[in-house]
Amino acid sequence: MNWFSRMRGPTEPGGAPLPDNALVIDVRSPGEYASGHVQGAINLPLNRFEQEIGRVAPDKSVPVMMYCLSGGRSGGACQLMQQLGYRQVVNGGSVGAVALKLNRPIERA
């Protein structure tokens, strides 16, 4: 079982540890990000996502976990990344769910 299949498992409290080279991307607006984001997350709003993902994640083999408020926007970003050739992409859902899965605090800017 790989890291991404373990992260999807709803019965696994805390989830699997995030690989060292993985990226956590928050696709919410800068204001939403400032109001509370997972420690270490990169803010890449959905309206700039397609234009900037290549700069933020140039290596398409690096694991990426994305989140937003509820998982809807991050789900769309996951689909886009898969269409662009990224191989290890997972929708973490909401900011709270990702913070719990990764055992990281929520920071405010």
Domains of the chain: 3-104 (3.40.250.10)
d(CA 46, CA 29): 8
78 belongs to the catalytic site: no
pLDDT tens figures, 63-83: 999 999 999 999 999 999 999
Which class for 62: exposed (0-12), middle (13-18), buried (19 or more C-beta within 10 A)? Answer: middle
Choosing from 38, 68, 81, 95, the catalytic residue is 68
d(CA 2, CA 79): 20
Number of C-beta neighbours around residue 49 at 10 A: 18
Percent of the chain with pLDDT over 70: 84
pTM beyond 0.95: the answer is no
Distances in whole angstroms, Cα of residue 28 to Cα of each of 1, 16, 40, 72, 100:
30, 24, 15, 11, 18
